[in-house]
Chains A and B, each alone.
Chain A
Amino acid sequence: MNSVPAIAPAQAAGQRLRERVFRGATFAAALLVLLLLGGVAVSLAVGSWPAFSHFKLAFLTREIWNPVTDEYGALAPIFGTLVTSLLALLLAIPVSLGIAIFLTELAPTWLKRPVGTAIELLAAVPSIIFGIWGLFVLAPVLQRHVQPWLIEVLGPLPLIGKLFQGPPFGIGVLSAGFVLAIMVIPFVSAVMRDVFETVPDVLKESGYGLGATTWEVIWQVVVPYSRTGMIGGIMLGLGRALGETMAVTFVIGNAHRIGSSLLAPGTTISASIANEFAEAVGDLYTSSLIALGALLFLITFTVIAAARFMLMRLDRRALSSV
């Protein structure tokens, strides 16, 4: 081993310059994100101002959406956005959890990789494909086989019966929830799988060593250990579901109405914008559509903030329990 040769001063200066340029470049990249976000917020605020100042708070509470008389209210799209996203999570969380647990704890090694790759591929399918598939393949199946059964069996029940009444159109809020769930599953399950893989083997082995069954190890060691990451994955899925546009537009039925039934057509914020923005004439109409965009921005922001808050509290509890 020779001693390390000293760096020539010129070379050192070059290195320092490179460091400084690199630092500046990364800082600029980070700043760009903030600038873009700020730009979006400002243009949404400016664009939606005419609608908010004209309709005031009634914009949030009215179901009407009538371009002929120029009266707009965002209640139906807000409702549809929240309901379809929650429905999607309701369907996607158990399936994703199952996928993640199977892949990390139970699957034979030769099966892990193909299934994992298949799920990642599912995440890469463009949303328009899901929309067309939903309309041409899923909707007829739901219409002929699933919805008549729901209407017959669940329709007459008290309380939840109301959710399953009306004619089986095949498309509607429920179908949108289905398609969204399929789109969200790859994201949620991929994150969950990665999180489960970080659980130290020594913890699991201690569980088994104490005589715990696989079931007990999964629910009492793996899941509690990865709770934070699981919530992160679910929130990622929720974010995707809230903003998804094309796939939903194809299968939700696009009606600015709030139906009591999950089989009824509805609309979401992004579907309304995609449907109507191109042909919207008139300042109030355009501004109302931009106002919808601003509301989606707010909803997404709230969801992310709520998730952060939840994670913070979980962390604190985890720390205090140590």
Chain B
Amino acid sequence: MNAFNPKRMLLAALSAVAFAGAASAADISGAGATFPYPVYSKWADAYKTQTGVGLNYQSIGSGGGIKQIKAKTVTFGASDMPLEQKDLQLAGLVQFPMIIGGVVPVVNVKGVQGGQMVLDGATVAAIYLGEITKWNDARVQKLNPKLALPGTAIAPVYRSDGSGTNFLFSNYLSSAYPKFHDTVGANTSVQWPVGIGAKGNEGVANMTAQTDGAIGYVEYAYAKQNKMAYADLINSAGKTVAPNAESFQAAAASADWAHAPGYHLILTNQPGPKSWPITGASFILLYRTPPDPAATATALKFFDWAYKNGGKMAADLDYVPLPEGLIKLVRATWKAEIK
């Protein structure tokens, strides 16, 4: 009987809750984007062993992150889609980039290996608009004079769940092809006129792999770790580039951050001969005048530590750390804008 004493059990449960509450009180709380979640949690682990301060990050999506920071339930919000300067000012928020990643087109065409096919933004946009329907279309063939392309029908695969990947990809297609901009546009979810929607990177990767003639797009880390047949892209300087850490960093470095208020910069189609055209940063949102200054200071310490020590860990996970110049700018922003 005694072992199941309900009073005692209730007491134990209550004290467990109280203890957990006390333990997490000193932790940094954040919520938002799913794309940087693996690297944030890796940083958090290392940071906790060094300093004892943990990070409670809920990867509920960028939209959720923006809502949570506006509701002041978390110390920082994270978003893959930067907020406009006027929205930032309205909400009293400061925004800065934390980590860089990229999106890679993957193809499944018989006889074509990874890195053999070359595409450009206008062609990919025309495929996703349903204008180009066969792989041996003159516009694809012209970019790949050496490849013997089959007459297979193209099956465009898109990501059905709202995501930063969708935003970057549709933003890239919009800037490369005016008709895509006018009929579809850029967002975390858009209304695709053709194709099939698969859920998450794994869904897109799998649909592309099992459908003959498919084209899809996934996060770079995902494409690399699963050795998917990616396509090279022609960037805005007219050069053919392969997706890798150098080409992402080149895009981030050639961007004009100093003249972008609120760091509102989307790294698609950046100038520079080495820049990968579908690159993007993931952003952090903090209050200019924080409701809890101590918590925000703790969070800033963590971000500062991550800038300083997180590069290697990020690279291990196939993310790209910010270029040194940009980190300097962000630190200056912290000093000037966060009270």
Q: Which residues of A contact B (CB under 8 A)?
A: 64-69, 135-136, 139-140, 143, 167, 169-172, 249-250, 253-256, 265, 267, 271, 274-281, 286
Contacts and interface: CB of A to CB of B under 8 A. Distances in A.
B191 A256 contact: yes
A118 B185 CA distance: 49
A64 B163 contact: no
Contacts of A171: 196, 198, 207
A253 B197 contact: yes
Nearest to A131: B199
B196 A68 contact: no
Nearest to B153: A167
Contacts of A254: 160, 196-199
Contacts of B191: 64-68, 256
Nearest to A272: B160
A280 B162 contact: yes
B203 A255 contact: no
Contacts of B185: 66, 68-69
A286 B186 CA distance: 18
B268 to A, nearest CB: 16
Contact of A279 (B163, B196, B198, B199): B163
A253 B196 contact: yes
B184 interface: yes
Contact of A249 (B63, B81, B155, B199): B199
Interface in B266-316: none
Contacts of B160: 249, 253-254, 271, 275
A169 B153 CA distance: 11
Contacts of A279: 61-64, 161-163, 188-189
A68 B174 CA distance: 12
10 contacts: A67-B162, A140-B210, A167-B153, A249-B199, A253-B160, A265-B195, A275-B161, A275-B197, A278-B34, A280-B189
Interface residues of B, number: 33
A275 B62 CA distance: 13
Contact of B190 (A66, A135, A265, A277): A66
A64 B306 CA distance: 43
B194 to A, nearest CB: 9
Contact of B184 (A68, A167, A274): A68
A271 B63 CA distance: 18
B63 A280 contact: yes
Contact of A170 (B81, B184, B210): B210
Given A64-B191, A68-B185, 18 more contacts: A65-B191, A66-B190, A67-B162, A67-B187, A135-B203, A135-B206, A169-B207, A172-B196, A249-B199, A250-B198, A253-B197, A254-B197, A255-B195, A275-B162, A275-B199, A278-B161, A280-B189, A281-B63
A240 B21 CA distance: 37
Given A275-B160, A279-B163, A265 B196 contact: yes
Contacts of B162: 67, 275-280
B161 A143 contact: no
Nearest to B207: A171
Interface string B155-193: 100001111000000000000000000001111111110
A286 B162 CA distance: 12
Interface in B32-62: 34, 60-62
B196 A136 contact: no
A267 B81 CA distance: 25
Contacts of B190: 66-68
A14 to B, nearest CB: 18
A139 B155 CA distance: 15
Contacts of A65: 191
Contacts of B186: 68
B211 to A, nearest CB: 7
Contacts of B192: 255
Nearest to B62: A279
A69 B184 CA distance: 9
A139 B189 contact: no
A262 B253 CA distance: 48
B231 to A, nearest CB: 21
Contacts of B184: 68
8 A-B pairs closest in CB distance: A279-B162, A278-B61, A254-B197, A254-B160, A68-B185, A279-B188, A253-B196, A66-B191
Given A135-B206, A278-B161, A281-B63, A255 B211 contact: no
Contacts of A267: 197
B99 to A, nearest CB: 18
A255 B63 contact: no
Contact of B197 (A143, A265, A280, A281): A265
Interface string B208-222: 001100000000000
B211 A170 contact: yes
B66 interface: yes
A45 to B, nearest CB: 20
A140 B208 CA distance: 12
A286 B64 CA distance: 11
